[in-house]
Structure 1
Amino acid sequence: MTTVTPSGRLPLGYVYLETKRQLRNVRAMVFTFAVPVVMLLVFGSAFGSVTDPTTHLQYLVVTTLQMASYGAMMAAFSQAFAIVNERSIGWNRQLRVTPLSGWAFMVSKVIAAMAFAAMSIVVTVVVATVVLHASLDPWHWLAAGFGIWCGVVPFALIAILIGQFAKPSFAQPVFMVVFMGMSILGGLWVPLSVMPSWMGSVAHLMPSYWLNRIGQMGAGATGSAGMTEPALVLAGWALVLGAVIAWRYRRDAARA
């Protein structure tokens, strides 16, 4: 049984067990890793070393960053199903009667999501460099991957919100609408430059756009001031979502 520390402190033992439990889900891991890699092999091979006129990066590099972002998002959103399942068996009710704070609950889920996302990002980049021979220096790969990894936080929080509010029968449709909508509108599947102009305006409202953008800036793309702007936007999303989740958890705990 996991010991929970007093409210306001992070129970490291619980975080460790939660992360370990998530990483044991072999089917989810294979699906999360396979989809972006297959899409990378299909779309990345089609463009080769052609240069993207918008970012001045190889199209292959741009596609790699899109698929790394896509896989990281998928890993983060997988938390929604875990939380819905926990609610259905009453595990969340058990947690609410412990001293576990809303912030500690939230952080434990985010850490598990980020561990999952890190593995997806690494697998995607390794396939791009080893199999497709994507050309980018190690420093820029590291900066791009680290930026995408940090940018996963808001998506893990969105998954927690879905898990807290969605009923089991509606979790799958809600997940698909949110995930697919953000993937398309954020430019992770198709470059925004080939989409209608109104979609470009909508994209700037999506955290997925900024997740893709922070990866491009880390890779040395031109046409922007750097990683600061996307980092601030994603941090803003994380703060707002985190406050809502903590409030919801405290309210449920008070009812319990």
Structure 2
Amino acid sequence: MSIAYLGLESVRQLKNVRSTVFTFAVPLVMLLLFGGIYGSSGQIDKVTGLPWIVVTTVQMAGYGGMMAALGQAFTIVTERSVGWNRQLRLTPLTGVGYLMSKVVAALAVALASIIALMVISVIVFHASLSFGGWALAALGLWLGVIPFALIAVLIGQFAKPQFAQPLFMVVFLGMAILGGLWVPLSVLPDWMTNIAQVVPSYWLNRLGQMGAGMGGDILEPVLVLLGWTLVLGAFITWRYRRDAARQ
């Protein structure tokens, strides 16, 4: 039943037109805006050595993937408020299966967003990168959004409906800024740059850039994101079991 529910939940999320459009629209508008300014200039980013439009595309694709993953928080809060998760506990579906369904659904929407933004960048701005570079960048970003799906689950477990959106915005905007997904970290104060290296969005961006450049010490971002995944996963499991024991 867990496997069947994983598939059903993923399809349901992809059919959620309002959420899907919002997930695609915001990063797409930003890509078109920044791409229109820098896309035809042929500038090279000094840090990565990649064309500026490629760096911008990776940033916006990471931004869209992160948005898709964190958006699962609203689904979980809604299901908690109507008692849906309590109903699921009466079925053979395990708690791990329920939580995994949210992560898989987040990854499905995130992958669609990442690929769509990269394809649009190539078509509209003729972003120049090898197929292998695009594929590795997309793979890095896709795997890198797993911690954000877990953060969404965590928000969904704790937040009340009236506080879900403000909490989401604080987490989302903070991650976007500190991850360098909106503006280069070089323009931010040093103390913010130091904090940025702790948050997962910074390493999500790095992983995508390393994939696009097909080089770099990929082990570091992988280990940091894996650490976030393990810690969040353990905390979520503890919280879910605690809630189940109360009911």
Q: TM-score, normalised by structure 1?
A: 0.93
Q: C-alpha separation between the residues in 1 aligned to 2:23 and 2:124? A: 19
Q: C-alpha separation between the residues in 1 aligned to 2:214 and 2:184? A: 14
Indicate conservation of the 8 Å contact 1:106/1:242, yes or no.
Answer: no
Q: C-alpha separation between the residues in 1 aligned to 2:181 and 2:214? A: 16
Pairing 1:75–2:68 present: yes
Indicate conservation of the 8 Å contact 1:102/1:247, yes or no.
Answer: no
Q: C-alpha separation between the residues in 1 aligned to 2:174 and 2:92? A: 37
Between the two proteins, what is the percent identity of the paired residues?
A: 63
State the 1:135 CA deviation. Answer: 0.7
Counterpart position of 2:83: 90
Selected match of 1:44 from 35, 49, 54: 35
The aligned amino acid for 1:40 is: L
Q: Secondary structure at the match of 2:126?
A: coil
The aligned amino acid for 1:135 is: S
Q: CA RMSD in A?
A: 1.2
Aligned residues: 245
Moved over 4 A (4+): none
Selected match of 1:110 from 103, 111, 120: 103
Q: C-alpha separation between the residues in 1 aligned to 2:202 and 2:214? A: 15
Summarize deviations over 1:22-54 as a string: whole Å, max 9, x none.
Answer: 111101111111111110111122123200111
Counterpart position of 2:240: 249
Summarize deviations over 1:55-81 as a string: whole Å, max 9, x none.
Answer: 111110110000000000000011000
Pairing 1:183–2:183 present: no
Pairing 1:140–2:136 present: no
The aligned amino acid for 2:43 is: V
Selected match of 2:25 from 31, 34, 38: 34
State the 1:99 CA deviation. Answer: 4.1
State the 1:174 CA deviation. Answer: 0.2
The aligned amino acid for 2:88 is: L
Selected match of 1:234 from 225, 229, 233: 225
The aligned amino acid for 2:16 is: N
Counterpart position of 1:56: 49
Counterpart position of 1:8: none
Q: Which runs of 5+ in 1 are unaligned?
A: 5-10
Indicate conservation of the 8 Å contact 1:67/1:124, yes or no.
Answer: yes
Counterpart position of 1:18: 9
Q: C-alpha separation between the residues in 2 aligned to 1:124 and 1:14? A: 28
Q: Secondary structure at the match of 2:71?
A: helix
Counterpart position of 2:120: 127
Q: C-alpha separation between the residues in 1 aligned to 2:240 and 2:91? A: 12
Counterpart position of 2:193: 200
Counterpart position of 1:215: 208
Q: Which has the higher helix share?
A: 2
Q: C-alpha separation between the residues in 1 aligned to 2:209 and 2:12? A: 32
The aligned amino acid for 2:148 is: F
Q: C-alpha separation between the residues in 2 aligned to 1:210 and 1:106? A: 24
Q: Secondary structure at the match of 2:125?
A: coil
- 20-29 vs 117-126, which deviates more? 20-29
State the 1:102 CA deviation. Answer: 2.9
Indicate conservation of the 8 Å contact 1:83/1:163, yes or no.
Answer: yes
